[in-house]
Structure 1
Amino acid sequence: MTDFSSNKIFAPKTDGNVDLSTITESNAGTVFGLFINNFKQDNQYIYKDQMRSHFANGLYYLEVELLHLSAFNDNLHNAIINTPNTYIPLVKEEFKEFLKDIPFQVTFKWSIAKPINIRDLKAEDVGKVVCVKGIIINNSRVSVKIEKAYIRCSLCPKEEIIHVNPGFTGITLPTRCNNEGGCKGSFRVVPDKCKYYDQQTLKLQESPETVTTGDMPRTILMYSDRYLVERTPPGTRVNAVAIMSTFHSSGAKKSDSNISQPYLRVIGFEITNDGSGRSRIEFSSSEENEMRQFAKQKNLYKNIAESIDPAIYGCEDIKKALACQLFGGSAKTLNDGIRRRGDINVLLLGDPSTAKSQLLKFVEKVAPIGVYTSGKGSSAAGLTACVIKEPGTGEFYLEGGSMVLADGGIVCIDEFDKMREQDRVAIHEAMEQQTISIAKAGITTVLNSRTSVLAAANPLFGRYDDFRSPAEQIDFQTTILSRFDMIFIVRDLVDKDRDQRIANHVLNHKRDSTKNTQDESSIYKLKRYIAFARSSCSPRLSDDASEFLLNFYVQQREASKTEDSIIPITVRQLEALIRISESLAKMELADSATLKHAEEAVRLFKSSTVEAINSHGLGGELALASMSKDLQNIENEILKITPIGHTTQVEAIVSNLENAGFKRHLIEKAIFVMCQRKDMEYKAQRRFIQRNR
């Protein structure tokens, strides 16, 4: 075993007179060994300590920060960046004598580099180290690759060892045996004597927020091996430090024989969203102090809500709800390992031209991680995950959809009502358990989908009708509605004064071109503050707040006994109140949600979900009274047309009453009401209508 008790991790092959000013193939490994032994940060030998820790845990790799290497010897740093295929093997070779037969790997971090997009990779980057950002959308099963191929002649006892380069390269065997005696046998690989290591193929896709409108997101294959495999499940956002390489596709045409496909041979990963789905964004101490001062302002909650798309007039409670959604509650893991979500789901249901889509676009822009999609153009596989077959190998891959790519952020689904019912059912698990279970093509796995859902939809008949109940107009199953923490009915009411204020607001905003610049600056600051609050604060309910929410929940359950509601009050709604209270506390960077936060959470819940349950439109009592009177008049007319014991065609009834000036939907409602009656007086009509509807 290796002895780590000495001051030196290993002894560089040098007599102490190494020229550090010039890096050559002969001294590169020695200079790297000096770097490992001598580099200190905060008076600590960080790489010696890292090797001791890793070896004690059976982890035979060393992660090197290229910024540290640049500070120690910039020439070696530049040599590794510009000619990695030459110098990285030399760096690894330095450990060989010391580590004996231990399979050792050197990986790299490159924090000083600004990550680039896949579309920015050019031909001049081939053979160099690059840092590329994106999202892992699929990865293959772990397979093995030969590091040292042991080959034997088929006619004579001659044996050789061939070193196989990493990446998408195969074994090139000698054509003939050149042994003494004129042997012309061919070589074959002896599998039992070969040396192998793990490898995995991944696919990296550009982040949705970096793709310009009208462009398809670019993807590129990546190759990882040894301790870099199984590090990045689909949905993980990474900055990949890799050597840009090329390979010839097996399915390419002969005419394309001179064209190579690029791929990234990974030498290090920096994961930018951690296991909780929260974005890892760096904040300086001065920026952190500035944000804590920002959190102390008097009207913080109001100011943040007003900064959500100032171009939209009104919608105060909706903007406050979206502010709560952006910050989110606190996720909890119970003792039995079950996870309770902290993300808040919001549904905007209402008339066209009420800025629902605009609000979705703004939230997608300001959220630390945001994905926008339309329900009409999205399938269940596109939202969750799909299994695809690789044409070359026939292997099945798992590819994450929108809700996987939005892990740790918000997915905005417009035209939610236009989705097929089977597609909506597919996201039930993702909205509550925040996982996506896959069992297809022999692949059984679970993907993380720790994301909030912001959905916008229209009522069943296009516009909200004052004379219809919510149950008649909300074309969603109770199972999906109960997963939304807040449901808002958005109306486009005709009101002269209100219309004039909206028009003035829109025109003033369009005329003032300076507001656009100010908005971009405020959006960036808000986005940074949200990311800071989500990563640094996890409030819990105080005792007063818990008691207040408990009493409110019990009252709502009692009230729901006598109501036939499309949105039942269940424990999910209590958990929604808890999440909203925690988000209000997180907005202020508070450690606990107080009674004040619980009261505001209840007010928001009442103005959204409770109002949606009880609302019959904003026509109020007059509209209900008018509807009741019209239904009674229609019922009287039906009795005249169809006396007891006689039958009349339903379409004839509807046609006659429409000619008399009654609205068709009221006629249908009157027929429906008569069908539900238990009076024996209407038995003939009820039996007839049920048979012909």
Structure 2
Amino acid sequence: MTADPVAKWEEFLRSRYWDDLLELADSYPDERSLVVQFPDLDKFDPEFAEELLENPEQVLEAAQAALLELDLPMDVYMDRAHVRIAGLPRHYKTRELRSDHIGKLLAIEGLVRTATEVRPKIVSAAFQCQRCGFTFFKEQTGNKFEDQNLKCQNQACDRGGPFKLVLAQSKFVDAQKIRVQESPEDLRGGEQPQTLDVELEDDLAGRIFPGDRVVVNGVLKSYQRSTPQQGKSTYFDLFHKGNSVEMTEQEFEEIDISQEEEEQILEMSRDPDMYENVRKSIAPSIYGYDDVKEALGLQLVSGFEKHLPDGARIRGDIHILLVGDPGIAKSQLLRYMTKISPRGIYTSGKSSTSAGLTATAVKDELGDGRWTIEAGALVLADKGIAAIDEMDKMDNEDKSALHEAMEQQSYHPLTEIQLSDGRKVRIGDFVDDLMSARSEDVVQGVDCEILRLGTDVMVQSTDFDKIIDLAVDRVSRHRAPDHFIKIKYSNGREIIVTPEHPVYVSNDGIACVPACQSKVGDLVPAQESALNDPKRQAHTNPETASSVIGSLKVEEIKVVPNDGDFHANYVYDITVEPTHTFISQGVVLHNTISVAKAGVMATLKSRCSLLAAANPKLGRFDKYEPIAPQINLTPALMSRFDLIFVLTDDPDTKRDSAIAQHILKSNYAGELSTQIAWNPEISQDDIDNALTVIKPAIDPELLRKYVAYARKKIFPTLTDEAKEYFLRYYVGLRMQGQDTNKPVPVTARQLEALIRLGEASARLRLSDKVTIGDAQRVVKILEGCLRKVGVDPETGFLDADIIASGTTKSTRDRTKSVIDVIRDISKEQQGPAPRDAVLDRAVELGIERAKAEEIIDRMRRDGDVFEPRPGMLKLP
């Protein structure tokens, strides 16, 4: 080792990092880290730099000492400052670590899968002798608290205790553990990602979140495994003592593309058959589905994210849903896509929970029994593709978590909220003003912008036991949906929310339901002091609330389109911890969260393209009924998909024969590949000829690099011709809905999808212009999907509401007619309407009796009509 490493560090810092050192001293203790680039040290003294790699703990200890000994021009003692090393010459993956690396300074590259909460860690424990009163200190160097075999350091005492831990004089440091997992793009075939636990302290703690891509520089260490049953093991586990963390968020920088490969990629992009080649390279062992494979090729590159001057974000990710009869290779398509995507994660709806999709707070050994945040598939696939198979098998709670990553659950900007000081503000203006004033603090969250607040803004909240004033933890802003739900309460209060926004009801205990499922007559929790309206329902459930919480009634519910007086570009939310409630004009309102348990909060990135597969509710599709209601997904979730492909398994002699031949040829190729090792009669030419049917046009590894290159370097713009084509197509379809008797064919959501698809089409040929050819190609793809899933089979017209609300216009019109019939007959009878009379009059209006029966039964289930006695119908 260098004779005097402290002097060597002093010389280096004076000559190379003096200005940085002065900046640190000027901002200390708010800033406590001096980041030294390893190449600078290597140029200064290669032998000393090598010594740092081989004996990092001694050399870094000398660096800390040098910081204290340097004579600075300001009066500051930087005893808590750190020298942190960055830019190490080699980055290791977890699977590359061996016993020779223990004790060395290494850079570990990967993706943060899990992170604990930040908590104080004792580093110097003060003990007071209970015999003589002397206080001494014991350094705590490991993870196990050292309080055994102590001896009083007062020479006059020199006793072995007892000792009392004095917390007030002990020294603590912030500490956090993270678990780093190998990145999806670094895995091949069926490899499972390996993980490594990392310990971070002081100013490194709390800066890293699950989903972050990082390089952690630090000292690799080991500890002995042990169990209560078997005691100490001969095997040791590894962990990393972090010295510095470098963020590696540049999109697809991790995929190395050589000069030769770049030339090959550019040559491929000029091939006029490029789209065909990409299509033939996606799951070539699966016959057909050319339109689906073409769309999947566009999803690989997707559009690109745009940030508007007002801070809003327009997503570029393309979401695709495959819905079809069983046994038509949906799962194989999903698995293949995650293999050829530069970042791909596959998960199944059967086993996926909301934790497995977005994130969750869990207790495990990483946090020593404390809460940790664990990233899910949508976070790990950030800027890639997350494939969710059997999405229809997911629980409603898990679908809600997925919906949050794709959509928003928020309030209309006109919704009025009341602050604890009595001020009433519109939530849109309130959040916009906060974000405008603190734009540098706004961060990207789950498809939204989020601003964390301190204790500046207070609102009234409740835990349904008492009313309390709490600070707003954060506010958020999201892209607005096509329509809203407007709810009016019996005290005159109104709220306007997105359809999936949770609202409280207290009909049978306090619970949450989506706004689109709330009903007139529902009781909702409210502040008792606000219940002075004569129309209020005098009701309080003693099992769920004390006297401070009573109930109001829902008086009116309306679906409000996002246009006219209610047009909004964004919707808004505020988050109040830990109750997740706030009170406005007496009504207890709900606020949404991404991850909340035991006070652990995180804002995670979820910017991936979603590829999902689902089966029909009843196993197979009924071609004579609308497709959308046959899928076990909420309309709000379905409407977030840019493309929905309906894949049916209809008997067809020509197609079935082609599929069978393809399967037989694929199996034959596999048989030959297996036999060549021991059958000398089989040649490589025989195998190559047999493999032609399933050989991809583009090598999968090269296709991965092609996609990475396109996403990294190509950001096309729409040409005037493409804009005009999109405009004529969109307006032309909208004009078909001008007749009040016809449904609205498409919404602005389809136009946004066309733009994303057009950008992807240009990206796929590495062009910086979206041409009219791109526009025509993607319109054909979207039109094909709409004709399958968005057409009312009764009328043959495109109907956007089939996907947006799960109900066709013709069904809505019939329902309205039946309601009018019940109302008219009730007036005539001056009481409930006889069911048979309602059915007879419905038939007179041209409604089939069976459909009228179906409408009445559905309205009864939904609470829109009830039977005060058998055979009699009454509206609420």
TM (norm. structure 1) is 0.75
Question: How much does 1:601 deviate?
Answer: 2.1
The whole-number CA distance in structure 2 between the counterparts of 1:564 and 1:385 is: 45
Say yes or no: does 1:595 pair with 2:572.
Answer: no
2:61 to 89, 94, 99: 89
CA distance in 2, matches of 1:232, 1:591: 35
By how many angstroms is 1:48 displaced? 6.1
User: Is 1:202 equivalent to 2:158 in the alignment?
Assistant: no
- Superposed CA deviations along residues 321-370 of structure 1, whole A, max 9, x for unmatched, are 11111111121223333322110000111233333222211110111111
Greater alpha carbon shift after TM alignment, 201-210 vs 593-602: 201-210
Q: Deviations over 1:551-575 (max 9, x none)?
A: 3222333335679999973222221
What residue in structure 2 maps to residue 478 of structure 1?
A: 635
State the Cα distance separating 1:142 from its structure 2 match.
Answer: 2.2
- Assess if the C-alpha contact under 8 Å between 2:115 and 2:179 holds in 1: yes
CA positional deviation for 1:149: 5.2
Q: Give the drift of 1:431.
A: 1.6
Specify the alignment match of 2:736 in structure 1. 559
Is the deviation greater in 487-496 or in 369-378?
A: 487-496
- Deviation string 1:409-451 (CA, Å, 9 cap, x unpaired) is 1100111222233322221120236447223332344322111
Show the 5 A alignment for 1:487-502: 487-502=644-659
- Answering whether residue 394 of structure 2 is matched by residue 422 of structure 1, we say no
- Is residue 443 of structure 1 aligned with residue 417 of structure 2? no
Trace 1:55-454 onto structure 2 (pairs within 5 A): 59-66=31-38, 69=41, 73-98=45-70, 101-102=77-78, 103-109=80-86, 112-118=89-95, 121-147=97-123, 160=136, 163-165=139-141, 168=143, 170=145, 175-182=150-157, 184=159, 191=167, 195-207=171-183, 218-247=194-223, 252-253=227-228, 255-257=230-232, 261-274=237-250, 280-283=254-257, 288=262, 291-390=265-364, 394-432=369-407, 434-435=446-447, 437-454=594-611
Q: Secondary structure at the match of 2:282?
A: coil
CA contact (8 A) 1:461 1:473 kept: yes
Taking structure 1 as reference, are residues 309 and 52 closer, same or farther at Cα in structure 2, changes over 3 Å only? farther
**Secondary structure of 1:357 counterpart:** helix
Cα drift, residue 452 of structure 1: 0.8
Segment drifting more, 414-423 vs 314-323 = 414-423
How far apart are residue 233 of structure 1 and its match?
A: 0.7
- The answer to which structure has the higher strand fraction is 2
Query: In the aligned structure 2, how far is the partner of 1:427 from the partner of 1:217?
Result: 23
CA distance in 2, matches of 1:529, 1:520: 13
Are residue 678 (structure 1) and residue 650 (structure 2) matched? no
Q: Following the alignment from structure 2 to structure 1, what is the Cα–Cα distance between the partners of residues 46 and 148?
A: 39
Q: Compute the displacement of 1:140 (Å).
A: 2.1
SS of the equivalent of 1:95 reads: helix
Query: Structure 1 residues 548, 111: CA separation in 2 closer, same or farther (over 3 Å shift)?
Result: farther
Residue deviations 1:497-525 (CA, integer Å, cap 9, x gap): 33343344444455554459975971111
User: 1 CA distance for matches of 2:744 and 2:335?
Assistant: 27
Amino acid across the alignment from 1:88: L
CA contact (8 A) 1:327 1:530 kept: yes
Q: Describe the shift of the 1:281–1:140 C-alpha distance in structure 2 as closer, same or farther (beyond 3 A).
A: same
Letter paired with 2:351: G
Shift of 1:79: 3.1
Query: d(CA) in 1 for partners of 2:660 and 2:626?
Result: 31
Identity within the alignment, %: 32
Quote the Cα distance in structure 2 between the aligned partners of 1:564 and 1:128. Answer: 75
For structure 1, list consecutive stretches of 5 or more residues without a partner in the other structure: 1-23, 39-44, 620-673
**Contact 1:560/1:568 (CA < 8 Å) preserved in 2?**
yes
Query: Which residue identity does 2:61 align to in structure 1?
Result: P
TM-fit CA distance, 1:472: 4.8
Distance 2:310 2:82 in 1: 37
Superposition deviation, residue 482 in structure 1:
0.8
3-state SS of paired residue (2:323): strand
AA in 2 matched with 1:599: Q
Residues 136 and 152 in structure 2, CA contact (< 8 A), matched pair in contact too: no
Write the distance in 2 (CA, Å) between the matches of 1:380 and 1:245.
Answer: 34
Question: Aligned equivalents of 2:750 and 2:724: distance in 1?
Answer: 15
Q: Which amino acid aligns with 1:115?
A: Y
Residue in structure 1 matched with residue 542 of structure 2 by the alignment: none
Q: Which amino acid aligns with 2:752?
A: E
Query: What are the within-5 Å matches in structure 2 for residues 24-39 of structure 1?
Result: 24=1, 26-32=3-9
> 1:138 is paired with a residue of what secondary structure?
strand
The residue number in structure 1 matching 2:482 is none
Distance apart, 1:30 and its partner CA: 4.2
For the residue of structure 2 that corresponds to 1:26, the secondary structure is: coil
Deviations 1:23-81 (A, max 9, x none): x153344445555566xxxxxx6x66765776677644344454665566554344333
CA distance in 1, matches of 2:783, 2:264: 35
SS of equivalent residue, structure 2 residue 374 = strand
The aligned runs of 1:493-642 (5 Å cut-off) are 493-511=650-668, 513-514=687-688, 515=691, 519=696, 522-560=699-737, 569-614=746-791
Describe the shift of the 1:380–1:580 C-alpha distance in structure 2 as closer, same or farther (beyond 3 A). Answer: same
Which stretch shows the higher mean deviation, 452-461 or 368-377?
Answer: 452-461
Give the stretch that moved more between structures: 299-308 or 69-78. Answer: 69-78
Q: Which moved more, 1:597-606 or 1:585-594?
A: 585-594
Q: Within 2, Cα distance between the matches of 1:597 and 1:689?
A: 45
Whether the 8 Å contact between 1:152 and 1:158 is mirrored in structure 2 is: yes
CA contact (8 A) 1:580 1:601 kept: yes
- CA spacing shift, 1:161–1:488, aligned 2, 3 Å: same
Which residue type is aligned with residue 106 of structure 1?
V
**Unaligned segments of structure 2, at least 5 residues:** 409-445, 448-592, 670-686, 797-838, 859-876
* 563-572 vs 234-243, greater mean Cα deviation: 563-572
The Cα offsets for residues 60-114 of structure 1, whole Å up to 9 and x where unpaired, read as 4344454665566554344333332333222333333126622332333455425
Determine which structure has greater relative contact order: mean sequence separation of CA pairs < 8 Å that are 6+ residues apart, divided by chain length.
2
Label 1:563 to 1:437 Cα distance change in 2 as closer, same or farther (>3 A).
Answer: farther
CA-to-aligned-CA distance 1:274-296 (integer Å, 9 cap, x gap): 5xx66554555665555445434
Shift of 1:400: 1.7
> Quick one: distance in 1 between partners of 2:147 and 2:337?
54
Higher helix share: 1
Structure 1 residue 131, shift from structure 2 partner:
3.9
Distance 1:291 1:214 in 2: 26
Residue identity opposite 1:429 in structure 2: E
1:408 to partner: Cα distance: 1.6
Rounded Cα–Cα distance in structure 1 between residues aligned with 2:742 and 2:26:
61
Q: Which amino acid aligns with 1:87?
A: V
**What amino acid is the match of 2:716?**
P
Aligned to 2:209, the other structure's residue is in SS state coil
Residues 117/32 of structure 1: CA separation in 2 closer, same or farther (3 Å cut): same
Residue 212 to residue 328, structure 1, CA distance change in 2 (3 Å):
closer
The SS at the match of 2:712 is helix
